[in-house]
Amino acid sequence: MDSPFQIVFALVCDDVRREDTGKLIFIGVYGENITVPKTPANLLVSVVAFLEVRQDFKAQAEIRVRMDDKVLVQAPIHLDYQKGKATTSFANVPVEIEKPGDVTFELLIRGEEGARVLKTIPVTSASAT
């Protein structure tokens, strides 16, 4: 069976808000990397995923954040998408950075093998440069 949706792209930012008109506001969008003043560091980030939904889809899932091979955050979520384009956000995700490395945001859908990578972004420390 083909996947019911495709992740078109995702971004990581400090916060995402929705205006009364329905438009999204992205605050503090991270580009090629996240630079923290020093490590360890505690971040509160949001992940926004833009999807192409091929068929109506509901599932139980988990959002997971890894740094290299260590799981930093894992939380249950419910997915409910209608066919077409969809935007979904996972706000206020706490990420504790112990050292520079790659942070990967993943979506694990119950019943599927493996995780879908939303975004991998390197974290650097300004004190290490």
Q: How far is CA 125 from the centre of its chain?
A: 21
Confidence of residue 128 (pLDDT cuts 50, 70, 90): low
Give the chain's end-to-end CA distance (angstroms, integer).
47
Q: Which residue has the higher pLDDT, 113 or 1?
A: 113
The model's pTM is 0.89
The arrangement of secondary structure in 5-128, i.e. its CATH architecture, is Sandwich (2.60)
Please report, for residues 3, 40, 61, the alpha-carbon distance to residue 111 in angstroms, rounded to integers and kept in the order given: 12, 35, 9
* Domain boundaries along the sequence of the chain: 5-128
Cα dihedral 39, 89, 121, 66 sign? positive
**Each residue of 63-98: pLDDT tens digit?**
999 998 899 999 999 999 999 999 989 999 999 999
Mean per-residue pLDDT over the chain, rounded: 91
Confidence of residue 129 (pLDDT cuts 50, 70, 90): low
Query: Residue 47 in contact with residue 95, Cβ under 8 Å?
Result: no
Query: Residue 88 in contact with residue 48, Cβ under 8 Å?
Result: yes
